[in-house]
Amino acid sequence: MASGMHNVELVISGMTCAGCAGRVEKALASVPGVTHAAVNLATERASVSGAEPTLKPADLVLAVRRAGYQAELLTGDAEQERQVLDAEQVRLHRDGWRAGCAIALSAPLLLPMIGIGLPGWVQLVLATPVQLVLGARFYVAAWKAVRAFSANMDLLVSLGTSAAYLYSTYLLVVSRPGTELYFDASAVVIALVLLGKWLESRAKRSTGAALRALLSLRPVQARVEREGEQIEVPLGAVSVHDIVVVRPGERLPVDGTVLSGSSRVDESLITGESLPVAKGPGQAVIGGSINGNGLLRIETSAIGRETTLARIISMVERAQAGKAPVQRLVDRVAAVFVPVVVLVALASFAGWWLLAGNFPAGVIAAVSVLVIACPCALGLATPAALTAGTGAAARWGILIRDVEALERAYRLDTIVLDKTGTLTEGKPQVTEVLAHGMPPLELLRLAAAAQRGSEHPLATAVLAHASGLELPALDHLESVPGMGLMASVAGRALAIGNRRLMQEKGVPIGELSAQADRLESAGRTVMWVALLDPPVQPAGLIGVTDPLKPTAHEAVEQLHRMGIQTVLATGDNERTAGVIAAQLGIPRVIAGALPAEKVLEVRRLQAEGKHVAMVGDGVNDAPALAAADIGIAMGTGTDVAMQTAGITLMRGDPRLIADAIAVSRATYAKIRQGLFWAFIYNVIGMPAAALGMLSPVVAGAAMALSSVSVVANALLLRRWKPQARATPAGSPAGIERPATV
């Protein structure tokens, strides 16, 4: 079997800071077969890519364990996901309990600060369980880091608090009564760090609320018709083409097509569409959506990883597991951060002791430096914002494929827009049939028969208009990208397409040109039909209208208000394209564009220094989607477009284009804010601690606050919503409610 690329997802536990994430990443990258490894500290997930069959998941898990952490392979199974989430909840409760106990034991140690005496042996009794029992996790993690020739936040905390604890114990044993002790500098710092890590975990869990909401949509069982009976089976036992019965109020377990029944289906959590959508026989439904008041019989079309919901979850997870370019710089800083902090702490201690002759002040300064200088906030700033931002986007029906797509989206200044299906409804209707040399009904029969093998929206419109007519046999069909098609119908050779196709085939169009001009000036798309059997001659025109989407004008206005230049690139004729562009206020039009010409327009704009996005929904848009800095696919379009694009819009609402750019800008703003605050804490805090201006207790509080504030700031992205819509699209199903953590 030929080797291919394989992606493995892991849940990592035991990480406490950016140094830990970096060590896990290095351990995974060193495994044979791995080509790429990325670890997200905020979600505690790792994404690993490599060549099959060299890449072995068991080797990845072993590598993580050797680095001092725990790893579990994610299989995509819904039950496993629930178990992982339950384990996270249990760990969160346990950490909260530990933080509470540490606070209760260490709080009395602050009494001497307000003039209330506390015997030294009482301080020792209170501080010892905090230091050695509740704080044991820091020693364990620090030892694992040292054993791996690395350093992390746990090493800083354990060094700093141990120095204060041991020095205080020494003073208590060998000194006279009344000597100042520093048990508060050890126990209170540990209590504050435990509290900070618990609050941080709660906040990190909240950033992933959108993904957990998506995971919760996957039903466990389905009601399937088997041998005339309805039986409930595990979802994994459902096969493609099985008939699934969904009762009113139940969640749809599979993707499929409605065979019988009618209902209104709530797809808000999947597409962001706030209103329930009417569904009836022949219409597609999405697994995970909620059935209204009707009974539906559905023929299954996709299962497992091929379902729409599974693909959405996969895209969100991939985006959240990625690493922004700025994070790579932060990782390099974090790799040398802890050793530098230890050196600064030693220098502070030596300075106070050797130069100032104040040994106790040296100890306190060193402890303060070790405690305040924690790389946690640096490591969390980017992944926390990315997790919250991509989750907020998914809640509104905007799926961001990866971190690179998010980064490129916030830089965009030019958008190239396809017309059909992007700005228009994509459901054309025939308005005129103008025959030349034959009855109009015969022209319609020939054109409809020729297009039975085509999936183009114009072909669908002609077939719908010819509904009820007896069509001749289709002998041959050949698509001509960007121009139309060639066909043989009942022995007659036909060409159906635009003026360019007629010119290429040598069809004399002079007699019909004036009528075509009139239709195009009215905004119609004109389909030319010609007979290619000698003598080559035009057979007539079919006028088609594709109305603009109600929100298209607002969408273009939003882009212009954001300072983004718009270009309309369409295969339609110049007059029709000009009418559409004028209605929408788009200044530049590329009409009659073949797929290759759309690519050339994208590259021309890029050569001018523009950051260009291409928006489309068809197969013919795929090359331009790939050539652009970022492709944006309308989710109502083809799978080819969605697979090529960096961003997929789950609804056909063009306003989502501006929303996708807005959420990417908001996310990067939070990343910059988080990194600023993370750096400022250390830039101000470390010198202040080294100069003796901060006590260890204040340093511990500042360190805990830095991580919590950075994650809490990123968490504000959960409130993000498109400016044009005041009511969150996901509200009916409750995704906008704060997650319980």
* Domain 398-424+548-650: which CATH number of 3.40.50.1000, 3.30.1490.20, 3.30.450.20, 3.40.50.1820: 3.40.50.1000
| Confidence at residue 148, expressed as pLDDT on a 0 to 100 scale | 72
The pLDDT tens digits for 196-233 are 778 777 766 766 666 667 777 778 788 999 888 899 88
3-state secondary structure 519-562: HHHCCCEEEEEEECCCCCEEEEEEEEECCECCCHHHHHHHHHHC
Residue 228 structure tokens: 């005339």
| Confidence at residue 207, expressed as pLDDT on a 0 to 100 scale | 62
3-state secondary structure 69-86: CEEEEECCCHHHHHHHHH
| Confidence at residue 613, expressed as pLDDT on a 0 to 100 scale | 92
**Residue 52: count of CB within 10 angstroms of its CB:** 13
Contacts of 227 (CB under 8 A, 6+ apart): none
Pairing of β 525-531 and β 537-545 = antiparallel
| Confidence at residue 55, expressed as pLDDT on a 0 to 100 scale | 80
How far apart (Å, rounded) are the C-alpha atoms in residues 409 and 265?
Answer: 32
Q: Which of 67, 62, 41 minimizes the C-alpha distance to 146?
A: 67
The label of the residue with tokens 């992606």 reads 7
Residue 318 structure tokens: 């991939």
Q: Which of 95, 154, 331, 418 is catalytic?
A: 418
| Confidence at residue 177, expressed as pLDDT on a 0 to 100 scale | 61
| Confidence at residue 655, expressed as pLDDT on a 0 to 100 scale | 92
Sketch the domain layout of the chain as residue ranges: 5-74, 89-210+317-383+665-733, 217-308, 398-424+548-650, 429-545
Prediction pTM value: 0.71
**Residue 236: count of CB within 10 angstroms of its CB:** 14
Q: Which of 547, 575, 543, 527 minimizes the C-alpha distance to 652?
A: 547
Q: Which of 388, 315, 320 minimizes the C-alpha distance to 667?
A: 388
Q: Which of 422, 405, 399 minimizes the C-alpha distance to 648?
A: 399
| Confidence at residue 586, expressed as pLDDT on a 0 to 100 scale | 94
Distance of CA 555 to the CA centre of its chain: 22
Beta bridge partners of residue 398, listed in sequence order: 649
* Residue 292 burial class via C-beta count within 10 angstroms: exposed 0-12, middle 13-18, buried 19 and up: middle
Residues 5-74, CATH architecture:
2-Layer Sandwich (3.30)
- Annotation says 572 is catalytic: no
Contact by Cβ (8 Å): 718, 394: no
The pLDDT tens digits for 366-378 are 888 888 876 667 7
| Confidence at residue 416, expressed as pLDDT on a 0 to 100 scale | 94
Helices 325-350, 359-372: crossing angle, 10 deg rounding: 170
Distance of CA 237 to the CA centre of its chain: 29
Contact by Cβ (8 Å): 153, 375: yes
| Confidence at residue 595, expressed as pLDDT on a 0 to 100 scale | 79
| Confidence at residue 733, expressed as pLDDT on a 0 to 100 scale | 34
Does domain 429-545 fall under CATH 3.40.1110.10? My reply is yes
The secondary structure element, H or E, covering residue 38 is: strand 34-40
How far apart (Å, rounded) are the C-alpha atoms in residues 717 and 219?
Answer: 28
The secondary structure element, H or E, covering residue 299 is: strand 296-302
Q: For the sheet containing 588-590, what is the strand order?
A: 398-400, 647-649, 630-634, 612-616, 414-417, 565-569, 588-590
Residue 528: phi, psi to the nearest 5? -85, 135
- With residues binned 3-state (H G I as helix, E B as strand, rest as coil), the percentages for the chain, rounded to 5, are 50, 20, 30
The fold for domain 217-308 equals 2.70.150
| Confidence at residue 556, expressed as pLDDT on a 0 to 100 scale | 95
The pLDDT tens digits for 626-667 are 888 988 888 765 455 556 678 888 888 899 999 999 999 999
Residue 93: phi, psi to the nearest 5? -65, -40
The secondary structure element, H or E, covering residue 302 is: strand 296-302
| Confidence at residue 555, expressed as pLDDT on a 0 to 100 scale | 93
Contacts of 256 (CB under 8 A, 6+ apart): 244, 284, 285, 287, 298, 299, 300, 301, 302
How far apart (Å, rounded) are the C-alpha atoms in residues 193 and 699?
Answer: 10
Helices 359-372, 655-690: crossing angle, 10 deg rounding: 170
Q: Where are the alpha helices (DSSP H) in 175-307?
A: 183-207, 209-215, 268-271
Residue 669 structure tokens: 């703003």
Distances (CA, A) of 240 to 185, 245, 291, 387, 486: 64, 14, 20, 33, 35
**Which residue ranges in the chain fall short of pLDDT 70?**
1-4, 18, 75-85, 151-152, 176-178, 203-204, 206-212, 269, 272-274, 318-331, 334-335, 374-376, 618-619, 636-644, 723-741
How far apart (Å, rounded) are the C-alpha atoms in residues 54 and 31?
Answer: 10
Residue 258: phi, psi to the nearest 5? -70, 125
Do the domains at 398-424+548-650 and 429-545 have one common CATH topology?
Answer: no
Distances (CA, A) of 183 to 135, 160, 585: 14, 12, 70
